Structures are given as C-alpha cells and as structure tokens.
Amino acid sequence: MTTKSLTRRELLTGTGKLVVGTAVVAGVSAGMNIFSNAEGSVPQQLPWPYEKLEPEEVGKIAYDGWYKAFCSYGVASGILTSLQKKIGEPYTQLPVEGLRLGEGGLVGWGTLCGSLLGATVAVGFIAPYDVGKQIMNEMLQWYSDTELPIYKPSNPKATVAVQTTSNSPLCHLSVGKWTKAASKSLGSPERKDRCARVTADVAMKTVMLLNDWKDGKFRSDRKLPSALYGITAQHNCNECHTHEIPEAIKQ
C-alpha cells in the first residue's frame, strides 16, 4: 500500500483510535519507501532514535533558548540539543538554530505559534508519521485549551502574574489575549518572559507525550479538524466568523 492510493481524508483520519508504542515504530518506518533518496551519504532513516528526556530540564533549555532566538528555536533546542547530548548522531548533524524563523508566528506574522513550529519539526524527526500527527494534534488542542504560562523559571527575568487561554494555536491570538489581560505591550519584559515560559511549557508537554509514546502509553482518539469540518480549521469557528459560519462544500 502506498500513500498515493489513499485520499487526503483517509490519510487524515486513518489513524482512528491510535494506540502506539515503540513496537510499532519499525513497521511504520519501514512503510516510508515512497521517498527517494538522493545520491551521496544517506540520512539515518526516520524515525530517529529517541530516549526519554526529563521535562524540567528540557523546559529550562527552552526557556533560556527563547532569550537567545525566541520561541521556535527555544522549543527545538530544548528537545533536540538534549538529544544531541543524550544520543549524539543523527541529532548532532542538525544545526538547531536553523529553525528560528518560526519566531512570532513566522517572522512576526502571528500565524502558528513558533513554539509549536519548533515542536513540529522535532516530533517529525523523532516519531513515526502517524504517531507524530496525533502528538501534534494533541499539542495544538492542549495549547488552545490550557491556561498558559505554567512554567516557573528558577531565575525569572520578569514577573508574569497573568495566565490566559488562547483558544487557538495562533500566535496573534495567544499573544493578543495575554497582552490584553495583563495590560502589557509586545515589547514589555513581562510579555517576553510570558512567551519564554510558554516556550518552556510547549517543549515540556511535547516531551511528556514523546515519553508516553516511548513507554507505549500514548493514546489519542482525537479526530483531526479537517476530518470534522470539511476544511482545515480550528475548532472554534465563531471566534473569527462572528456572524455566519460558511458551510463547507459537501464531499
């Protein structure tokens, strides 16, 4: 069975009730033969090896990483530099700072929160495709539903007294709701530290899910939004469509 024989909807919903542990990895990975390799040295086949990481340690690297190069780099460094140290190759072949352009929802455009972009790339190398897809589906839902930030740095660079729920994985909404609730500007030390803490939260949550998967305990029966609505979408249509929610064209 090749991916080409599946429809997009089948691909998006095909995982259904997903119960996956490390035992499944080899099978999923072995199925990825649709990708041609170029000549020259061959990259280590996906998924890359994973060993459980300590969420608190990852959170600290991610928090500090924000102050080096913001959210996308922060999460990527929390996860991937930890694996560079713990496992070595192939992680050491990846210059993590190349992933910083996700900052500010993509160079300040407020789209996908950069911390989630960093997590996406890390998970894409670490987990088999079907598992990674469900992990990121869980991550975006958790990010949308959770009062953030949770992380408490041992040496905070500013006081962050307010938590907010974004109801969205979009940077613009996540940052906008927090700055409004906290009455702080984008350039304030408090907003910066808020985003550094969210970066730690996303890195830690991602690692918790990866650890669960490594232990054979990761479970997800959450459908992907595109399978529910007939369009790629968030779950809360009326947050933007305040007056009428367009009907998706029937399949």
Binders of its own copies among residues 77 to 116 (CB under 8 A) are: 77, 81, 84-85, 88-102, 104-112, 116
Query: Which of 136, 200 has the CB closer to its own copies?
Result: 136
Which one of 18, 20, 53, 69 is in contact with its own copies (CB under 8 A)?
69
Q: How many CB atoms lie within 10 A of CB 99?
A: 23
**Residue ranges in 41-60 that form contacts with its own copies under rule CB under 8 A:** 41-46
Using CB under 8 A, which of 57, 67, 152, 236 touches its own copies? 67
Task: Bin 40: left if φ > 0, else alpha if -120 < ψ < 50, else beta.
Answer: left
Measure Cα distances from 9 to 16, 171, 223 in Å. 12, 27, 11
Q: Which of 36, 154, 155, 238 binds its own copies (CB under 8 A)?
A: 36
- Are the C-beta atoms of residues 68 and 221 closer than 8 Å to each other? no
Q: Cβ closer to its own copies: 113 or 204? A: 113
The C-alpha atoms of residue 15 and residue 127 are separated, in whole angstroms, by 14
- Residue among 50, 32, 101, 75 at smallest CA distance from 197: 75
For 56, the enclosing helix (H) or strand (E) is helix 55-86
Tokens, residue 95 = 């210059």
Nearest approach in angstroms of CB 240 to its own copies is 5
- What is the closest distance, in whole angstroms, from the C-beta atom of residue 211 to its own copies in the complex? 19
Query: What is the closest distance, in whole angstroms, from the C-beta atom of residue 186 to its own copies in the complex?
Result: 5
Footprint (CB under 8 A) of its own copies, residues 127-186:
129, 132-133, 136-137, 140, 169-172, 175-176, 179-180, 183-186
Stretch that binds its own copies, among 18-26, 38-46, 201-209, 212-220 (CB under 8 A): 38-46
| CA angle 127–55–162, rounded 5-degree value | 115
Nearer to its own copies, 4 or 17 (CB): 4
Residue from 55, 74, 120, 220 binding its own copies (CB under 8 A): 120
Contact 159, 198 (CB under 8 A): no
Taking CA atoms, 117 is separated from 1, 5, 230, in Å, by 30, 29, 24
Dist CA 144 CA 166 (whole Å)? 5
Contact stretch for its own copies (CB under 8 A) within 18-26, 49-57, 204-212, 223-231: 223-231
CB of 19 to its own copies, least distance (A): 18
Site size toward its own copies, by CB under 8 A: 97
